[in-house]
Amino acid sequence: MSDQQEFPDIDLNDYADPENAESNSSHTGLALPGQNLPDKVYIIPIHNRPFFPAQVLPVIVNEEPWAETLELVSKSEHHSLALFFMDTPPEDPRHFDTSALPLYGTLVKVHHASRENGKLQFVAQGLTRVRIRTWLKHHHPPYLVEVEYPHQPTEPTDEVKAYGMALINAIKELLPLNPLYSEELKNYLNRFSPNDPSPLTDFAAALTSATGNELQEVLDCVPMLKRMEKVLPMLRKEVEVARLQKEISAEVNRKIGEHQREFFLKEQLKVIQQELGLTKDDRSADVEQFEQRLEGKVLPPQAQKRITDEMNKLSILETGSPEYAVTRNYLDWATSVPWGVYGEDKLDLKHARKVLDEHHAGLDDIKNRILEFLAVGAYKGEVAGSIVLLVGPPGVGKTSIGKSIAESLGRPFYRFSVGGMRDEAEIKGHRRTYIGALPGKLVQALKDVEVMNPVIMLDEIDKMGQSFQGDPASALLETLDPEQNVEFLDHYLDLRLDLSKVLFVCTANTLDSIPGPLLDRMEVIRLSGYITEEKVAIAKRHLWPKQLKKAGVAKSSLSISDGALRALIDGYAREAGVRQLEKQLGKLVRKAVVKLLDEPKSVIKIGNKDLESSLGMPVFRNERVLSGTGVITGLAWTSMGGATLPIEATRIHTLNRGFKLTGQLGDVMKESAEIAYSYVSSNLKSFGGDPKFFDEAFVHLHVPEGATPKDGPSAGVTMASALLSLARNQPPKKGVAMTGELTLTGHVLPIGGVREKVIAARRQKIHELILPEPNRGSYEELPDYLKEGMTVHFAKRFADVAKVLF
């Protein structure tokens, strides 16, 4: 078989309607249903969907193994073969199960056969249903069978005609819905009549997108009425699907059309507005926006010149270029700075006092210090920039005091934490050349508050880090120096900013880790801890109502007695601040809410007895103040507040002279101990002790709570007193605590943290103290309620201490 066509060539247009059957039958190669049907035909299985008698369609099959079959068909008189549908194609078409073929196939006339790329293509014209009677050759292709044709009743009944009309109507409905069915199909329809229902029904079935098996059922169904009953629902379903598809498609088109219309109208509007000068392009709009921002601002000449230059540059750059984005970003920041815009201060001392009292209980010395600061501002007419450093233990209200200062002045407040900050660019900004460059936090703060004189809080200034990226503490030196910050330079803006009117409030827990030059620029205000009375007032006025509000509990449903508050403070929250106290009160409220859910109408009153059941055993016990020979109570300052520090001395043996120290002591305290030992040893006779005591004794000095590291220059006097008590073998006076540093010549040196130490002594119910004479002024400045009931001896030399103790 060559590549060329070997079969009679027919023109499908010659296929006219059945009425002209006579004239058509004389044409070579054309066949009509029921005309000279062969008894023996070759068969080819097809796999996509069944072929119907009413169809004229191209069919493609593999050259191997069907070339021989088609060659034999071409040599036959009738040029016909039978097509049978197989749902699943066999692995090898040369050997397949003959029982897998369905009952009926379709006899087709073959036209226009051709070969290309291993495929055979021909146009098949369906003639009639065909059924295999016997297999004449079935071991391998070509397959030859003897066939028979089903008998069709000639006269249709009324019912069949009715179904025929229904099918034609359904097909006509389908035509406008599916553009695939074109004009030729309409002509095809016109040729069918209800009087010849069989091809109509087959044609209708072929139009549907039903599965191969469903269509085979139609092919197998010879009785006319039954076949129509099967096909009509299939066709109706096809109409519904087509209608739904058309609706979806119309909706999608409508939406796309709307968007396109909107887009075109917007573009046209843009062009029209630009032509009329009503709007600017993106570049002009940006420049205009930046110019509007600068209205009402007073720029220094240098800043004005730089911004004007950048605006000119922006107006000639292409909007798509990277440089445009960089310049636009720069101008965005530069024009957001509130140049020359200052808020008005409320310099009313009564208002300030009221705000401070509302927000804070106690802290009178701090409030007075702030009021003095405001009074100077009121007298002068402006509060010039100042740098205040609030130092104190955690939880005493340093951050909230900063907020209160801002509120009493009526200035905007901006807070950022510098704890853990390691990059100096956070303060001074990145250079503009870097990708993602930003100004420093101070420029960002000014942009947010929109005035040049806010209150800016730098929280946790003692916890700043250092790294290879720079030292932020050094970057703050320029910021926090009232002499230099008139011309603060941000790296990103590269413009001089006047920060001299900003009020900086810094907070820290200790001063040790703040670099000296930075500390030197700040005015230190110390916040020491609260005594029990202050804590009770804070709990009643602030913390308890806050916890009730947080839990949504009415004051009438839940209350706590003053006695329970005191017991709570003494047993569970003794630290200097009030954070732990707030947590414990929150815990009490949560426990009470659980009970209120069970009994909503009940009223809960928390007393002393309820604390243990809600909070467990007290964390702090009433420490028994140690007493006896060689035991002295000292006073110490810690970052968490003040504490009592008992010191014990004992003689281990008299075999040889020696001195041993224990208790996690730092270098300074070890030196204090050495000095105390040397001083007492050399002056023992003058204090009424046996001069030979230390020559023979091995002495051990211990500071209890060995797990806690201790260091600081304030325990010399206490250690010397313990050693003297041991040497005289005489217990010291009971109920006395002391603090002070000692020199080798017996002078008592001043110490720090007097307030914290007095509070620690009161907490332990010690009312007699020995303090260094140079600290008399610090003690006199303490509030009266702290000094009330206290007996204080001021010592210039160690002899004064010994007089009080022995």
Going by the annotation, the residues of the binding site for ATP are: 392-399
Go through the chain and tell me how many residues it has.
806
DSSP 125: E
Question: How far is 81 from 93, CA to CA, in rounded Å?
Answer: 17
As a whole number of Å, the CA-based R_g of the chain is: 52
Say which of 428, 441, 535, 757 is annotated catalytic: 757
Packing angle, helices 224-276 and 197-207, rounded to 10:
40
Asked if residue 80 lies in contact with residue 43, where contact means CB atoms within 8 angstroms, the answer is: no
Complete DSSP assignment for 164-202: HHHHHHHHHHHHHH-TTS-HHHHHHHHH--TTSHHHHHH
Question: How far is 780 from 760, CA to CA, in rounded Å?
Answer: 17
Asked if residue 635 lies in contact with residue 751, where contact means CB atoms within 8 angstroms, the answer is: no
State which amino acid sits at residue 545: P
Distance of CA 138 to the CA centre of its chain: 73
3-state SS string over 99-115?
HHCCCEEEEEEEEEEEE
- Tokens in use for 89? 């194609």
Question: How far is 170 from 184, CA to CA, in rounded Å?
Answer: 17
Question: How far is 804 from 734, CA to CA, in rounded Å?
Answer: 11
Cβ burial, residue 392 (10 Å; 0-12/13-18/19+): buried
Asked if residue 564 lies in contact with residue 607, where contact means CB atoms within 8 angstroms, the answer is: yes
Question: How far is 662 from 678, CA to CA, in rounded Å?
Answer: 17
How open is the CA angle 536-541-547, to the nearest 5 degrees? 95
Say which of 714, 721, 787, 796 is annotated catalytic: 714
Question: How far is 460 from 506, CA to CA, in rounded Å?
Answer: 7
Question: How far is 104 from 51, CA to CA, in rounded Å?
Answer: 10
Phi/psi of residue 547, nearest 5 degrees: -70, -40
Packing angle, helices 398-409 and 349-359, rounded to 10:
150
Question: How far is 562 from 102, CA to CA, in rounded Å?
Answer: 98
Question: How far is 404 from 396, CA to CA, in rounded Å?
Answer: 14
Packing angle, helices 667-682 and 716-728, rounded to 10:
40
Cβ burial, residue 329 (10 Å; 0-12/13-18/19+): middle
Q: Is 249 an active-site residue?
A: no
Asked if residue 414 lies in contact with residue 449, where contact means CB atoms within 8 angstroms, the answer is: yes
3-state SS string over 615-675?
HCCCCCCCCCCCCCCCEEEEEEEECCEEEEEEEEEEEEECCCCEEEEECCECHHHHHHHHH
Segments in 496-578 forming alpha helices (H): 516-520, 532-538, 544-551, 562-572
Question: How far is 623 from 395, CA to CA, in rounded Å?
Answer: 24
Q: Is 550 an active-site residue?
A: no
Binding residues: 392-399
As beta bridge partners, residue 414 has 456
- How many CA atoms are closer than 13 Å to the CA of 661, on its beta-carbon side? 16
Which residue in 477, 442, 451, 455 sits closest to 370, CA to CA? Answer: 455
DSSP 470: B
Which residue in 145, 150, 122 sits closest to 34, CA to CA? Answer: 150
Catalytic positions are: 714, 757
